[in-house]
Each structure stands twice: as C-alpha cells, then as structure tokens.
Structure 1
Amino acid sequence: MSRLFKTFAAGTFLSLALSAAGPALALDESQKKEMGAFIREYLIQNPEVMIEVQNALEAKQQAQRADQSTKAVATYKDEIFSSPTDVVLGNPEGDVTVVEFFDYNCGYCKRAMGDMDEILKKDTKVRFVLKEFPILGPDSMAAHKVANAVRLVAPDKYAEFHRELLVGQEHASEATAISVASDLGVDEAAIRKSMQEQPNDDIVRQAYQLANAIGITGTPTYVVGDEAVFGAVGLDQIEEKVGNVRSCGKASC
C-alpha cells in the first residue's frame, strides 16, 4: 500500500469521523492532528482494513454495473435481440437467444469463437445473434463495413465469412475482409457497391448507443435473458445462463 494511498485513506477516515461527530464536537487543530495520527497508525498496523474497503468498493461497483445493464436490457430489448440488421446463427426460432457484441480484431473474441461453435453444436434450441461492435480502431471499422456488405450481398456466405475473418486472419482490415469474401466467391465489385450505397453507419451507431446504455466497455460482451455478461467468460458460464433462462426465465435463478 503506497504512502499516498495511506494518507488518502487516513484523510478519508478522519473526514468520516469528524462528520459522524457532528457539530457537537468541534476539534481544534491539535486534536485533528492527533486523531489523524491515530487513524494513520491504525491503518499501518492493520492494512488489511483497506483491502476490505477496496473489495467492498469493487463489489458495490459491480452491483451498480449489473443493475444498470439489467435495466438497459429491459428498456432496449427489441433493439438488442430483434434488430433486423443483425445476423442470426443457430435456430432462428430458438427458445433462448444469446447476443454477442464483438470486434473482428478482438483477441478474446477470436478465442471465444469456439464457445459459440460448441453451443450451437450441442444445443439446437439456441438462437445466437451477432452484434457488430467495432471499437478497436479504423481497421476494425473498415472490416465491419465489408462484413455488412457481405451480409447484404451474400447472406448465405456470411457465417463462413465471419468465422474465417475472425479466427483465420491475424488482423482484420478492409483488405483482408475483401480477400476473405472474394475467396468465398463473393463479387468484390458488388461488395464495394454495397459499401458505398448502404454503409453500416447507422448499425454501428445503434450498437454504440446500446453498449453505452448497457455499460459495455469491451468485447466480447454477451446478453442472455435479462443480463449482460461481460468478457470471454467461457462455455460453462454461458451454458449456465442459457439453462437458467429456461428454468426460471432469468439468467440468474
């Protein structure tokens, strides 16, 4: 624990102590210094107190974030689960929907692709929605523009294109995305025409607005049932959330 942090903590405890004392107890400067020294010495002798405080703060922040995301999911349910511009994999009529916010240059998203594949392989009742969310720079934005064009020009090729661009390329950009699409037989001229005539600006803008409302700051982030699940949490946790939605209607029963 740094000296600056200890000093700050002591000041915080001192402020709380003085506040609790109220106007009935007016300390002079020497008394304030004495109390501050006592609090400082106590924290030095018992530094685990500040660890407990930090843990309590993190728990409170996580609870606040979860509450924010749950309220946002309820408010923007249609935009999250049923946007006509999102690609749906798995069972279009599935009983549980998993939404993934992803970026083609997200390393964690690349590793999480196997989780999605395994879910769709094992559970034929899952509806999996891909929410394009380019946040990792201009190359990501350009790659997602190509992806949107592939969705419009050759929707039957999108799933294969998505898999190859996400996990088959070290870095996604306009050039690598067009190369992947071309290798799959999608006409480059048609892609570029679609990019020009039907850009994905509104789609990306909506994704950013939803992410801001939910509290998403990174990828991948999933939405299952009434909850946002932040990070590449792994197959087991996603399957648990899906099972909970089926059994009690919520991601956490």
Structure 2
Amino acid sequence: MTAIRTFLAALALAVTLLGVTGAQAGESLDEAQEARIREIVREYLIEHPEVIVEALQALEAREQAARQDSLKDRVVAHADGLFNDPTSPILGNPDGDVTIVEFFDYRCPYCKRAHRALAEVLEADGNIRVVLKEFPVLGKDSVTAARAALAAVHQDGYLAFHEAMMANEGNLGEDRVLALAASVGLDTAKLQQDMASEEIVAVIRRSYALAQALDITGTPAFVVGEKVYPGALTADQFREIVRQARGDS
C-alpha cells in the first residue's frame, strides 16, 4: 500500500498548494485549479502505474473479505446439512476434533490431486473428520459414478469403491464404474438396482443445493469451520487450515 499512500499524500499537497489562495478567501477551487489537479493526478499515475495495481489489489482484498463474511453467514445457516447429514459418507475419524467437508466429482483431476494430499494429512493426523459431498458437475458419467458410490453404501462398500474411483486415471463411464465396483467386491446387479433409488437422487440434490447456497460452482471445494476453500489444496494447505481450526498458535 506504500504507492497508494504516496499518491494520496502528493494529491493532498497539490490540493493544498493550489487551493490555498481560494481557501484564504473562503472560496472553492476554480476550473483552472481543478483542471491542474486532474493533470497532476494523470501525470502521477503515468509515472507510477504501480499505484493502479495496488488499488486493484486493495479492491480485490476488500471484495474477498466481504465475500467471506457473506459465506460465513451462509455456512452457519446450512451447518446442519453440511456437517451432520447422516447420508454423507465419512473419511478419517468420525469423532475428529476438526471437520472438513469436501465437494468433489470423480472425473475431476483436481479432486484426485486434492484427495491424495488430504490422504497424506489424514494418515499423519488421526483426529480429522472428512464429510464427503458427491457433487457431480462434469456430465452424465459423473452423475453415474456418484450414484454408484452412494449405492455402495448399502453394501458397506463405499470407502473401498470411493478409493478405487479416485485412483482411476482413465475413462469413468458406466462400464468402467461397474468394473471398479466388481474389483472391490461389490454385487454389481444390486448396485445398479440401488443406483436408481430416489433416496440416492435426493442425496445428490441436497449436495447441489448446499453448493448453490455457498456459491460453489466447481470442484473440489472444501468447508472448514465457517470458511469455504475452493480449489485443489495441497497437503501443507490442509495442515495449515486444520491448525487454524484448532486455534493452534
């Protein structure tokens, strides 16, 4: 903010110098004085374009802070659906002292990257609870994969299936989804039957509604405490967020 402060100081000095005569006479600046001030401002900005950059950065910071304040209120309003929905699968420690809510899509490469980073953190920290929100936004195959994963809950096979689909790097069409299901020991005939249930459709609809309420439009996205973190976080970023959530100094 140094450049902006310097600019404001220079502008204040220009106004003072140009307006001193008028101020002494109790008059406002005349047109010539106002034109000169505009010229001084223009010349300064041409010579110091970094002022514009800093001004834009300051504006962005204010807008981001206002957005986070708004999101905080919305996270609080939807806390029960985010953190306590019994239909949302759980990773890590179900009784962990920090909860991370993850919105993801099995076909999203950034989700897979974040999944690996989060797995690293979970392996080292046994006191984190992760709430998974199936949020298929990348087309029909994504919806099929999400419905299949949720159907696997009825066979107590969600976590193994979830890991298999997250590890998959290629196509994830229905045939591949069913092959992965079979590879982790799921009954694929039952899986297909359960995938069509209204219960599973409702779970995904609730994820869409929560995402919309929090302005989450892409994957992955994470909610921790009262904050929303969009994008593929690194292991170090996860650790820092967890540290902050615990109030560690």
Counterpart secondary structure, 1:200: helix
Provide the residue aligned with 1:68 in structure 2. 70
Specify whether residues 126 and 35 from structure 1 end up closer, same or farther in structure 2 by C-alpha distance, changes over 3 A only: same
The answer to whether the aligner puts 1:130 opposite 2:124 as a matched pair is no
Taking the aligned partners of 1:98 and 1:25, their CA distance within structure 2 comes to 59
| Equivalent of residue 115 in structure 1, options 89, 114, 117 | 117
Taking the aligned partners of 2:73 and 2:108, their CA distance within structure 1 comes to 27
Q: Structure 2: which 5+ runs fail to align?
A: 1-26
* TM-score, length of structure 1 as denominator length: 0.77
Provide the residue aligned with 1:78 in structure 2. 80
Provide the residue aligned with 1:212 in structure 2. 212
Specify whether residues 173 and 65 from structure 1 end up closer, same or farther in structure 2 by C-alpha distance, changes over 3 A only: farther
Taking the aligned partners of 1:151 and 1:27, their CA distance within structure 2 comes to 77
Taking the aligned partners of 1:229 and 1:61, their CA distance within structure 2 comes to 16
- Paired AA for residue 146 in structure 2: H
Specify whether residues 201 and 33 from structure 1 end up closer, same or farther in structure 2 by C-alpha distance, changes over 3 A only: farther
Provide the residue aligned with 1:228 in structure 2. 228
Larger radius of gyration: 2
Q: Contact 1:166/1:172 (CA < 8 Å) preserved in 2?
A: no
What do the CA deviations read for 1:38-69 (whole angstroms, capped 9, x no partner)? 76555433322221222112212211221122
Misfit runs of 4+, over 4 Å: 24-28, 30-42
Provide the residue aligned with 2:184 in structure 1. 184
Q: Contact 2:118/2:238 (CA < 8 Å) preserved in 1?
A: no
Specify whether residues 101 and 51 from structure 1 end up closer, same or farther in structure 2 by C-alpha distance, changes over 3 A only: same
- Paired AA for residue 244 in structure 1: Q
Taking the aligned partners of 2:139 and 2:34, their CA distance within structure 1 comes to 51
Taking the aligned partners of 1:191 and 1:26, their CA distance within structure 2 comes to 79
The number of residue pairs the alignment matches comes to: 223
Taking the aligned partners of 2:170 and 2:73, their CA distance within structure 1 comes to 37
- Paired AA for residue 89 in structure 1: L
- Paired AA for residue 219 in structure 1: T
Per-residue deviation, 1:144: 0.9
Per-residue deviation, 1:33: 9.1
